[in-house]
Amino acid sequence: METITEQANFTSIMQDYGPVAIVWYILVAIALWRVFSKAGYAGILAIIPIVNIFILVKVAGYSAWMTLLYVIPIVGFIFSFFVAFRLGDRFGKGGAFSFFLLWLLSPIGYLILGFGASRYTPRS
């Protein structure tokens, strides 16, 4: 049984990390805005929470319907590898970049793709 003290501690923790989460979301939205613009999609779609995943999967070269794989617990985790590697390939980046910067540290990788000199090559 939870006590009122445990609930208050949880609420306090969430209040401390709320501003950090907002800054994190804004950083990711800015990075994805640039990535989507380079890929020929409207950058404003990066702001909409679930739509940005659909567009990211399309930029990686998959069908937008495959975004539904993210809902399946273990399959979504594995599919995120494929999206990261395919996205890196579309921008001319290698496997190490895709793993470390597009999968593990994705906001940094998205910022590098969006603001760097890499060019998007669509699926052929």
User: pLDDT for 73-115, tens place per residue?
Assistant: 999 999 999 999 999 999 999 999 999 999 999 999 999 999 9
Asked whether 94 and 88 are in contact (CB, 8 A), the reply is yes
Asked whether 89 and 62 are in contact (CB, 8 A), the reply is no
The structural domains of the chain, with segments of one domain joined by +, span: 4-115
Q: Could you tell me the end-to-end alpha-carbon distance of the chain, in angstroms, rounded to an integer?
A: 57
User: pLDDT for 27-61, tens place per residue?
Assistant: 999 999 999 999 999 999 999 999 999 999 999 99
Question: Residue type at 25?
Answer: Y
pTM of the shown model: 0.85
Q: Locate tokens 């910067």: which residue?
A: 101
Question: Residue type at 54?
Answer: F
pLDDT for 8 beyond 80: no
